[in-house]
């Protein structure tokens, strides 16, 4: 089944209107709490993106994926160190990582993460990961 990603009325105003689907719904946006992240419609159901606070500036993401197929175009499913899986913005270089982040909270394009589904690594892409919050 193909997922449909649509911005909900509660979407963050800072979400980028161009780029891939991950950028458009606000994946990798800065946040302090879940309510700072956009709310999106997935297959007709409202889904609140989660704020991962382990990173400097926070990181809006979709929690509970099993593979990249569960994430919007431009995102992959990462097994995070907190024991949960999240959709992270994919990248080939750093310039792709910060459509929804200010310069003082930039994310880096990194290969230093674990895919939730190791077969997703076949594309050889990296993920946008900001520095740890400290």
Residues 23-70 have pLDDT tens digits of: 999 999 999 999 999 998 877 889 899 999 999 999 999 999 999 999
SS3 21: helix
Give the H/E segment covering residue 115.
Answer: strand 114-115
What are residue 93's DSSP bridge partners? none
Q: How far apart are CA 108 and CA 98, in angstroms?
A: 9
- Residue-range domain boundaries for the chain: 5-129
If one counts every other C-beta atom within 10 angstroms of the C-beta of residue 83, the result is 6
Is the Cβ–Cβ distance between 97 and 128 less than 8 Å? yes
Positive or negative, the CA dihedral 38, 42, 45, 47 is negative
Strands 45-48 and 39-42: antiparallel
For the segment 113-131, what is each residue's pLDDT rounded down to a tens digit? 999 999 988 777 899 999 9
What are the structure tokens assigned to 89, written together? 């913005």
């Amino acid at each position: 089944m193909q997922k449909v990603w649509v911005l909900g009325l509660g979407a963050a105003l800072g979400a980028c209107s161009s780029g891939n689907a991950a950028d458009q719904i606000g994946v990798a946006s800065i946040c302090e709490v879940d309510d700072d992240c956009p709310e999106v419609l997935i297959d007709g159901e409202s889904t609140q993106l989660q704020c991962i606070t382990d990173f400097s500036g926070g990181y809006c993401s979709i929690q509970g994926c099993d593979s990249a197929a569960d994430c919007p175009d431009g995102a992959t499913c990462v097994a995070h160190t907190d024991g949960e899986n999240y959709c992270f913005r994919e990248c080939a270089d750093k310039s792709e990582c910060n459509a929804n982040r200010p310069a003082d909270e930039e994310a880096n394009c990194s290969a230093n993460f674990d895919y939730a589904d190791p077969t997703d690594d076949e594309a050889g892409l990296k993920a946008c990961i900001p520095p740890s919050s400290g």
